[in-house]
Amino acid sequence: DGGITQSPKYLFRKEGQNVTLSCEQNLNHDAMYWYRQDPGQGLRLIYYSQIVNDFQKGDIAEGYSVSREKKESFPLTVTSAQKNPTAFYLCASKIGTANTEAFFGQGTRLTVV
Partner 1 sequence: GENVEQHPSTLSVQEGDSAVIKCTYSDSASNYFPWYKQELGKRPQLIIDIRSNVGEKKDQRIAVTLNKTAKHFSLHITETQPEDSAVYFCAANDYKLSFGAGTTVTVRA
Q: What one-character-per-residue DSSP string does the chain give?
A: --SEEEE-SEEEE-TT--EEEEEEE-S--SEEEEEEE-TTS-EEEEEEEEETTEEEE-TT-TTEEE--SBTTB--EEE-TT-S---EEEEEEEESSSSS---EE---EEEEE-
Among 94, 108, 110, 112, binds partner 1 (CB under 8 A): 94
Nearer to partner 1, 71 or 94 (CB): 94
**Which residue, 10 or 15, has its beta carbon nearer to partner 1?**
10
Pairing mode of beta strands 10-13, 108-112: parallel
Q: Please count the residues of this chain forming the interface with partner 1, following the rule CB under 8 A.
A: 26
Q: Is 89 in the site for partner 1 (CB under 8 A)?
A: no
Tell me which residues in 7-46 interact with partner 1 (CB under 8 A).
Answer: 33, 35, 40-45
Of the candidate residues 8, 56, 62, 70, the single one contacting partner 1 (CB under 8 A): 56
Q: Which is nearer to partner 1, 10 or 113 (CB)?
A: 10
Contacting positions for partner 1 (CB under 8 A):
33, 35, 40-45, 48, 50, 56, 58-59, 90, 92, 94, 97-102, 104-107
